[in-house]
Homo-oligomer: A and B are copies of this chain.
C-alpha cells in the first residue's frame, strides 16, 4: 500500500485530517486518536480515514489508534508543508485585498510575499504590509524571490492573460479565484475556487427539496379531496 501513488480523493482529504489533528493537539493531553474519532471530527467515515492513512504508511497502532503528534508530522510532510512556498497574488481588487490579508493562509503556512496588479492607481499601495508592484515585474520577481505558487484574483476577463504570464514566469501551481476557466500547459496545475458556484449548487438542491415538498402538499390535498368524496 505504502508505495502506491496516493489517490487524488485522498490528497483532497488530507488537509481536513490535518486540521482536525491540529485541534486535537491544541487541546492538551490528547496523545492518540482512533479512526472513529478522527472520522467524526473531519466529517467522513472511519473506514475511509483508515484507508486514506494507510496510503501514507502504517502509522497507527492496532488496539490503540494513531499518535496525534506523529500523524500530524507525517501528513504535514506528505503535503509538503514542512517547507514554505512563497506565493504571489495577482489582482488586488476587492477580493484580492481580503485574501491578501486573510489570516487563514498565514496560519496554515502560506506566506503571500508578493502582490501584483496592472492598474497604476493600485501600484505602490501597501496591502497587508506588502507593496503592490506592476505585473510586468512578475517574471523577474519569480526568478529572484523563488515564488512557487500564483493566486489569480483578477476579474474573469483578465484571468487567462495573467495565467499565461505566470506560466511564462515559470510557475507550476496556480490557484484561480476568478470565475473563468484558464488554459495552461499540462505540466501546470490549476485549481479553481469559485465562490458563487457553490451557491448555485446549493440553489439546485434547495429548489429540488422545495419542489418535492410542493408535490407532497399537492398530493395531500388531492388525497383529502378523494377522502371527502367517499
Contact = CB atoms under 8 A, between A and B. Distances in A.
Contacts of A201: 11-12, 15, 191
Interface of A: 11-12, 14-16, 18-20, 23, 41-43, 78-81, 83, 85, 87, 94-95, 97-99, 101-105, 107-108, 110, 148-149, 172-175, 179-181, 183, 187, 189, 191, 193-209
B175 A99 contact: no
Interface centre among A41, A95, A187 (most CB of B within 10 A): A95
Contact of A98 (B98, B149, B173): B98
Closest 7 CB pairs of A and B: A98-B98, A80-B207, A43-B181, A173-B202, A15-B200, A80-B203, A15-B197
Contacts of A194: 15
Contact of A102 (B108, B174, B187, B195): B195
Given A43-B183, A94-B101, A78 B204 contact: yes
B189 A202 contact: yes
Contacts of A85: 199, 203, 206
